[in-house]
Amino acid sequence: MIIFGVDPGLTRCGVGVIEAGIGRRLSFIHVDVIRSDPHTSQDLRLLTIFDGLTSKMDRFKPDAVSIERVFAQSNRNTVLGTAQAAGLAMLAAAQRGVPVALHTPTEAKLAISGNGKADKPQVERMVAAVLGLNALPTPADAADALSIAICHALRPQGALQGGEREQHLTTAQRQWAIATQRAQRRGGVRGGM
């Protein structure tokens, strides 16, 4: 399964492509950042991001698109641009009939490191380790896109429903499933898809 991860942004939109094989074995395929010029009008910036996303989706033909869920920040303009870029990724996927999943940064950190509060350097090191990279992916947008793709590949499916499925979860997946269930009971985080 080819997973196309997106760290949405209007100035820098991270894209990470991985393959999830048998036994959830993960392989690195591609990482890049699509950039738009902040001195250009917003409509042209959005077009640049959309064209970059569609070009990469056509090139890599993903089976799933995993996008970082937009969360509230104090800077309204940043949230707006991030939400617009996320919407473009969803549109590009929908046009190609590719399913979309949204994952929060906390879910991605928890899935890759077992710690939902992991800092960026820790996440970058884990991304490199999980994918067998010789160097840390840069810039941060690229590492975040790969972590969102990894999150989708490692997400617990039917986790903690007992039996065989539970036995095949990693420690990080089990912790993620428990945290997600607790949050859902409190009316908090909702899982992707």
Give per-residue pLDDT as tens, 107-124. 898 888 888 888 888 989
Binding positions for Mg(2+) are 7, 68, 141
Listed as ranges, residues in the chain with pLDDT below 50 are 158-167, 188-193
In a domain, 125, yes or no: yes
- Looking at the chain, the whole-number percentage of residues with pLDDT higher than 70 is 77
In a domain, 190, yes or no: no
In a domain, 43, yes or no: yes
Residue 117 is predicted with a pLDDT of 86
Residue 170 is predicted with a pLDDT of 54
Domain containing 168: what range?
2-185
In a domain, 192, yes or no: no
User: Helices 105-113 and 120-131, interaxial angle, to 10°?
Assistant: 50
Binding positions are 7, 68, 141
7: annotated active-site residue: yes
Helix, strand or coil, per DSSP, at residue 21? coil
Q: What CA–CA distance (Å, rounded) separates 38 from 45? A: 8
| Phi and psi angles of residue 7, each rounded to the nearest 5 degrees, phi first | -105, 95
Look up the CATH number of the domain holding residue 51: 3.30.420.10
**Domains in the chain, number:** 1
Helix, strand or coil, per DSSP, at residue 110? helix
Residue 185 is predicted with a pLDDT of 64
Q: What CA–CA distance (Å, rounded) separates 75 from 112? A: 27
164: annotated active-site residue: no
Amino acid letter, residue 185: R
In a domain, 191, yes or no: no
